[in-house]
Amino acid sequence: MTPEGEFAQIAGLGGRAAVVTVVDGDGLGSKLLVREDGSQSGGLGSPERDATAADAARELMWAERSELRETGEVTLFVDATYPPPRLIVFGAVDYTAALCRLASAAGWRPYVCDPRSQFATRERFPDAEQVVAAWPEEAFQVVGGIDRATYVAVLTHDPKLDDAALTIALPSDAAYVGAMGSSRAQAKRRERLLAAGMDEVLLERLAAPIGLDLGAVGPEETALSIMAEVVAVRNGRSGGRLRDKQGGRIHEITGEHA
């Protein structure tokens, strides 16, 4: 199968990969496919060019965008395909139900995890891709682990569950880790995690209190606040008001729209 054909197959199955094409210069039209596991097929004419292209492919398939790259005397187009982003939510609470509804509507794949089986049920969270009644260590394994395109929201308000989930999520490759709670609750959580041996640098990546400052009230508005933050993080934005934006594009232009 050609690199282009396999790329189309991977895209059709909702997988992650990138195909790099020489669009200007020597070797015009040659292609290199790079798969999620780093393996590749095809080639662009030289080991050096292949290595440069493979680095760009791995970067962009996880950054989840496609773009042109200039390298030497050739121009490459890196076309990335990837599944919808995952949002793993710890805590089978009312806020979680609202968050799953909004995440699903936005094209994300929400997962719900909570060891309390009486609360972690499919009936309570019909919009979730999967509901897992297990402690964090097992739950993360059941949902496929944590990669660079995973976003984690901890909403339990239970220190035992919060700390167990964060101890795994913060040192991981997760793109985002957020936790609910007041400033006082965050301070206590920080003390507990530091006392348990958590690196202070890792704690700095925790988004807590979780969400953007929308003045949210109730589960639905809180879910909107959380989704606004994770979408902003995914797109490399701060989440400020568009009316205050000074220059630049409102939307990134990537892939087929470049």
Residue by residue, pLDDT tens for the chain (258 residues) are 899 999 999 999 999 999 999 999 999 999 999 999 999 999 998 999 999 999 999 999 998 999 999 988 899 999 999 999 999 999 999 999 999 999 999 999 999 999 999 999 999 999 999 999 999 999 999 999 999 999 999 998 888 999 999 999 999 999 999 999 888 888 999 999 999 999 999 999 999 999 999 999 999 999 999 999 999 999 888 888 777 766 555 555 444 433
Q: For CA atoms 221, 226, 229, 232, give the dihedral sign.
A: negative
pLDDT at site 183: 84
Domains detected in the chain: 3-81 (no CATH), 86-234 (3.40.50.720)
Q: What is the largest CA-CA distance in the chain?
A: 63
- The reported pTM is 0.85
Output phi, psi for 135, to 5 deg: -70, 160
Q: Tell me the three-class secondary structure of 69-130, residue by residue.
A: EEECCEEEEEEEECCCCEEEEECCCHHHHHHHHHHHHCCCEEEEECCCCCCCCCCCCCCCCE
State the Cα–Cα distance between residues 215 and 228, nearest whole angstrom. 13
pLDDT at site 246: 63
pLDDT at site 151: 97
pLDDT at site 92: 94
pLDDT at site 253: 46
Hey, which residues does 178 pair with through a beta bridge? 153, 207
Within 13 Å of residue 50, how many CA atoms lie on the same side as its CB? Answer: 15
What would the two tokens of residue 142 be? 């059941």
